[in-house]
Amino acid sequence: MDLASMPLKMLQLIVQKKIGEKMADEKHNELTAIVIGATGAVGSDLVKQLRDDNSFKNVEVFARRNIYFDHPKFHVHVIDFEHSETWKNKVRGDVFFSCLGTTIKQAGSEESQWKIDHDYQLEFAKAAYENGVKKYILISSVGADSASRIFYLKMKGTLEENVKKLGIPSVTILQPPGLIRKNSDRFGEKLLINVLQFANSLGLFRDQKPMKTELVAAAMINIAKSNFEGQKTISAQDILDYAQ
Give the CATH number for residue 63. Answer: 3.40.50.720
Res 206: pLDDT: 54
Per the domain annotation, does 156 fall within a domain? yes
Closest CA to 218 of 154, 171, 152, 174: 174
Tell whether the torsion through CA atoms of 120, 123, 127 and 133 is positive or negative: positive
Per the domain annotation, does 206 fall within a domain? yes
Confidence check: pLDDT of 26 > 80 = no
Res 1: pLDDT: 55
Per the domain annotation, does 182 fall within a domain? yes
Q: What is the pLDDT of residues 172-219, one digit of tens each?
A: 999 998 786 565 444 444 444 454 444 455 454 455 567 889 999 999
Per the domain annotation, does 102 fall within a domain? yes
Domain around 196: 29-243
Q: Residue 24's pLDDT band (boundaries 50, 70, 90)?
A: very low
Confidence check: pLDDT of 138 > 90 = yes
Res 9: pLDDT: 55
Residue 173's contacts (CB-CB under 8 Å, 6 or more residues apart) are: 137, 138, 140, 160, 163, 231, 232, 233, 234
Per the domain annotation, does 9 fall within a domain? no
Per the domain annotation, does 20 fall within a domain? no
Q: What is the pLDDT of residues 66-76, one digit of tens each?
A: 999 989 999 99
Per the domain annotation, does 46 fall within a domain? yes
H/E element, 136: strand 135-139
| Number of separate domains in the chain | 1
78 CB neighbour count, 10 Å cutoff: 12
Res 5: pLDDT: 61
Per the domain annotation, does 205 fall within a domain? yes
